[in-house]
Structures are given as C-alpha cells and as structure tokens.
Amino acid sequence: MTTFFHSRRIKYLQFFFLLLLLMPLFLINLRNSHDWGGDFAQYIHQAINITEGRPQWDNGYIFNPDNPYLAPQSYPVGFPVLLSPVYYLFGNSIFAFSCCLTFLLICCLIVMFLFFRKFFSYIISLLAVLVLAYNPWILMFKGEIISDIPFTLFFSLSVLLYAGYDSRKADIPREILLGLVIGLTMLIKGIGVVLLIGIMADILVKRFLDNKGEKRIIREAFSFIVIVLVTSVFLYVIVDKVLLPAKEDTYKFFSTLFDYRSLGNTILVTSDYYVQVIEDFFHPDNGKWNVFPSITKAFALSFFILGLFIKCMKRPGYPEYIILLYLLVILSFPNTTQGFRYLVPIAPLILFYIITGIRSVRLPVMIKPGYIALFIGLIMLVQYKSGVLGIISSQNNTLVGPQEPEAVSVFGFIKKNTPENSKIVFIKPTVLALYTGRKSFTNHPSQSLAAAENQYETIGFDYLLSTTDFGNNALDEYIKKNSDKLSLVFENGKFKLYKKQGER
C-alpha cells in the first residue's frame, strides 16, 4: 500500500512539474492585435452569430465562386462554438481569444505527454513536449485565432483514448466518449473523419484477421465500431445540420477544391513542399551557430521516416493508419502556402516517430538510444533561445493588421459614413466584414483585369478599398481605368476608399 501511494505521489509531482514548465506559454506571444489573416475574422464572426442567434453564414462575407480558395461562406462550426463563450464574456477581444488558444495548446500538450508516457520514459516524454511547445514557429502560431490548435487537441485526445484499448472488451462509456470526441473533432475540421476510418481499418486488421473470424470477437468488434460511429456521426449531424447549419456542406465544398485530374502531379509537388516544411520546422534560426539546426533538421526528417517505417513493418496500428490517411489527404490538396499549419495536428505523431526512429539505432559503442534522444532534445531546446527571445521582445508591438491606427481609422469611417447594406471590394473581405459590419468580397489578386472586372460587375459593389499592405494589381488597374466613375472619399497612409459614382 505504501508503495502504491508513493508511486502516485511521484506521478502527481511529475505532472505538476510538466504544468510548471508549460505555464510560461501564457507569458509568450499573447497580443492585443492580429495580423490580416482572414480565417480568424470569420471564426470570430461565426462565434458572434452563435451568441446572437444568427445563421453561421450571416457574416458579411460574399463568396466569390471565381476565388473559392479564399474561404467558404462559413467554416465548420466546432471552433466558433469553442470561441462563443469567450466572446460572450469578453467581447471581440484578441487578447482573450489568444489566452483561450494558449490554454487549448497547453491541454493539447498534456494529452500529447500522456500518449508519449505509454511508450517512453518520463524524461523523454517531457522533452518531446517541450520541443514542440517552445518551438518558435508554434509560439508564433498560437497567436493566430484559427482552428488548428483546438483541432489538434481533440485529434490527439482521440488517439489517446483509443491507444491500447481492446475493442473485444466492452466499455460502453469509453466508447461513447471516444465517439463524442471524434464527432467534435469533425465539427472543427472535416478531415477529422480520418479518425473514424483509422479505427475501422485497425479493427478490421487486428480483430477480424487475427481471430480467424471467431463469431464472438467479430460481434464485439462490430459493436465497438457501431457505438463509436453512431455517437460521432450523431453529434456531427445534430450540431452541423440541425442546431448550427452551414450555408453549404463542409465536405461538399472542400471536395470541389481538389484537382482529381492531376492528382499524381499534385502529390509530387506537395510531397516536395512538405519535406521542406518539416525540415524548416526543426531548423530554428540560431545565428552564427546555424550548423546545429542544419544537423537536427536532417536528423528529424530521417528519423521520422525511419520510425514510421519500423511501425508499419511490425504491422501498422491506429496511429499509423491515421497519419498515413491524414498525409494522403493533405498531399492531395493543391495548396503550398500554409507552411507547417496543416501538419500541426500530426506534429505529436511526427515527434513520436522521430523518437521511435532514434530508439531503433544500435551504435557500436555502449550508448543507450534513450540517451541519444535525450541529447538531441536538449540540443533542440538550446537552439530555441534566439527565436523565443525575439518573440518576447516584439510581442507588445502592434501587428500589421486590423488593429493598426490606419486600419482602425478607415474601418471607423466606413461604419459611420456608408450604408449598412453596402458592398465593398477589399482583399481581406472577412476582416472588413467583422470590423465594419458591411458586406465584402474580393477577386483573386493574380487575376487579370478582365476577369476581375467581370466579377465586380456580376456581384456588384458600392465601394472599392485598396491598401498598400497587399498588392491587388487587378483592383489597382480597375481603379485607374475607371477613375472617372469613382470618387475618392477617404485616404490615409495605407488606405484609399473609392465610391462608385451614382451610388448611395
């Protein structure tokens, strides 16, 4: 009995030490301003709609079918649901939302630690969490009010709940909990459906093949799948289709963005891109000592591939099915502008396979693989110093975005001096809609003048807003070509607002 309580006390102390090391995240990159982004504004607007009982798509953003990659008419409702209590309590406060994202990141890191402890020692698990938590890219990214961190939290929690769980032993409460977590994950991002597919693949291999079709095993495995599937789909349908429906089905919209005719070429391009992205993530700027990041980035990619290969060769399990399915989806998606963002949900698994790869190494000298992992982890943390200090020194600066004085000024003018139902062309339509309450749309910046002109006339507009923060050649050319039909009604150091003559 004494040994039992002693063991529990040790675990509590270890967990407390983990929390102590994660608390500084609340002191790093919490801001009162946001960059121009775009997604953040729509998520906040949808959270406002939830608190005020309005439809999700009533956000002022006018969807341009000729510029579909910008954003759908409304995003999946899961993240706005999480933001709505914050908005209800604190209003449209970037600082409050940033605190919320930091809290969710810490929760995600705790889940990641619990998952790692199933396979690795306390020290290695702790270092792996810190390597992810204090990576300068993550510290900058947590200041973005977007859905990737909460999605990663519930994605990782699903993996943790299923890891090591024997579906042959009925545990209905846990099965229902797993289904609810997966359902919430799907409500945050549609790609969460890979969790369901991964479970079915894992059970089909482990239960059906291993047990040669034994009826009892098949029945219990089938029962497990049904409970998880029904619970997750039921939650998704009730929230997304009944309580808080979107203008257009999430899966239908995003499926239109894939180019199935050139899928092979897309995968080749994105594969090369994400290899570079992973290397860059483990290559923090380290000034004159940049030779060390060059080594660690090579180690990271090599050991990730090695660790995943080893797991798959032994026979893939749930984490392997999930990461392979997830990678297949993002590699098939023709987008190479998001950096590490799309890899954030599987970042814990990437680290898991890196450690697995390192531990598989057998050196001729008597050095345990765990010590190698420990050494590399410490080297990574030391390299973060320059990046972390840079973030801390600049975190009180106002970012180039809607909180800058020039942006506040033009948005204030629009709110006071334009009709409420005005349509305004602006390169960041979701942001303008959030901060002015006016409707907004944009052409794609790389489009020709003729194509943009056709969109302007088709959708219709009352005002045009240009900014020096972003280039939009088609808009600039349109303004120059139609100067006799436009009136300059507002101008400051960054913005020019033009009114269409003859309009209100």
Q: What percent of the chain has pLDDT over 90?
A: 64
Lowest mean pLDDT among 24-33, 283-292, 492-501: 283-292
For residue range 425-476, list pLDDT tens digits in order: 999 999 999 999 999 999 988 889 999 999 998 889 999 999 999 989 999 9
Half-sphere exposure of 424 (CA within 13 A, CB side): 31
| Residue 393 pLDDT | 92
> Sheet of 486-491: strands edge to edge?
439-441, 423-425, 463-467, 495-500, 486-491
pLDDT at 287 over 60: no
For residue range 22-77, list pLDDT tens digits in order: 999 999 999 999 999 889 999 999 999 999 999 999 999 999 988 888 889 999 99
Is the pTM higher than 0.85? The answer reads yes
pLDDT at 212 over 60: no
| Residue 211 pLDDT | 57
| Residue 215 pLDDT | 60
3-class state of residue 498 by DSSP: strand
Mean pLDDT, the chain, as a whole number? 89
Residue 308 pLDDT class (50, 70, 90 cuts): very high
Give whole-number Cα distances, 291 to 158, 284, 287, 349, in Å: 38, 11, 9, 26
Contact indicator for 344, 152 with CB cutoff of 8 Å? yes
Written as one letter, the residue type at 299 is F
pLDDT at 160 over 80: yes
Contact indicator for 321, 331 with CB cutoff of 8 Å? no
Residue 250 pLDDT class (50, 70, 90 cuts): confident
Fill in the DSSP letter of residue 25: G
For residue range 336-351, list pLDDT tens digits in order: 888 899 999 999 999 9
Contact indicator for 448, 408 with CB cutoff of 8 Å? no
| Residue 238 pLDDT | 95
pLDDT at 201 over 90: no
Contact indicator for 102, 248 with CB cutoff of 8 Å? no
| Residue 40 pLDDT | 96
**What is the pairing mode between strands 486-491 and 495-500?**
antiparallel
Concatenated DSSP letters for 293-341?
HHHHHHHHHHHHHHHHHHHHHH---HHHHHHHHHHHHHHHS----SGGG
| Residue 17 pLDDT | 92
Q: What average pLDDT does range 233-260 have in this prediction? A: 87
pLDDT at 242 over 80: yes
Written as one letter, the residue type at 63 is F
If one counts every other C-beta atom within 10 angstroms of the C-beta of residue 386, the result is: 16
Name the residue ranges covered by the structural domains of the chain: 165-257, 405-500
Q: How far apart are CA 251 and CA 257, in angstroms?
A: 10
Q: What average pLDDT does range 273-295 have in this prediction? A: 76
